[in-house]
Amino acid sequence: MYSTIVELKIVALTNNSATTIARAYVELLELSVISMILPQVSIPMANTVFEIQGTFKFASELAKCSFHCESGGHKTVQIGAIAFSTGTIAQCKLSTPLPVGFCHVTLSQNGVRVSRNSFQILVHSPVLISRVTPSTSTTVGGTLVTIEGSGFPANIQPLCHFGNLNIVKATAVSSNRLTCTTPAMRMPNNTAIVDMWITFGGIESLIQPFKFSARFPSLQQIHHLVLRTGEHE
């Protein structure tokens, strides 16, 4: 804890003397600085944990994280519990969901703000997928997939995820429709179903099943292959 204790006195002055009639002690805390909060974009969800990064001049169990939010012209303040991992990283847990809108995060102790600055985060409606067309592709990739749903944020680059390692950029067609092209996939088997989802910054949709299958040669291709093989015999 970085602080200074200051003594305050109330005195009564007489002719040539001063008599102390009251005394109080005030603790002055050095202000902390918030440099980053993760995630910077969130959805309304109970028991959300935020990571706060910065320079903390205190590490007290009395410290709190405060979310000053504005949504639809209404202002609210929510207080969360904070736990310090190090002098530069802390976890803030909110038990109740934040409202949709912008929130400015500060640190406080005993009801007094102890952070020099605030950090803004965006709380967005959940991203929902209603339909994926088509829901299959060959392992060669190149299939144009249309994704329809709701809660798609504007001005944030959408990404399509096919499994944990394959990410491609998506194109916004409208406020509730995206398109993306399937990547080439290496599958140990001829057919596999992978998890597919979309993200906007730190906002993720729910997982959808997506099927990849190996491309087998057509009968015409097999016929040509047999003819060419016979020519060389």
Distance of CA 81 to the CA centre of its chain: 19
Q: What DSSP character marks residue 125?
A: P
208-221 per-position pLDDT tens digit: 999 999 865 444 54
Task: For domain 31-123, give its CATH number from 3.50.50.60, 3.40.50.300, 3.40.640.10, 2.60.40.10.
Answer: 2.60.40.10
The dotted CATH code for 128-213 is 2.60.40.10
Q: What DSSP character marks residue 115?
A: B
The pTM assigned to this predicted structure is 0.61
36-74 per-position pLDDT tens digit: 999 888 889 899 999 999 998 766 778 899 999 998 889
Residue-range domain boundaries for the chain: 31-123, 128-213
Separation CA 66–CA 169 (nearest Å)? 35
For residue 226, the surrounding DSSP H or E stretch is helix 219-231
Domain 31-123 and domain 128-213 have a common topology: yes
Please give the span between the terminal C-alpha atoms of the chain, in angstroms, as a whole number.
Answer: 88
Q: How confident is the model at residue 120 (pLDDT cuts 50, 70, 90)?
A: very high
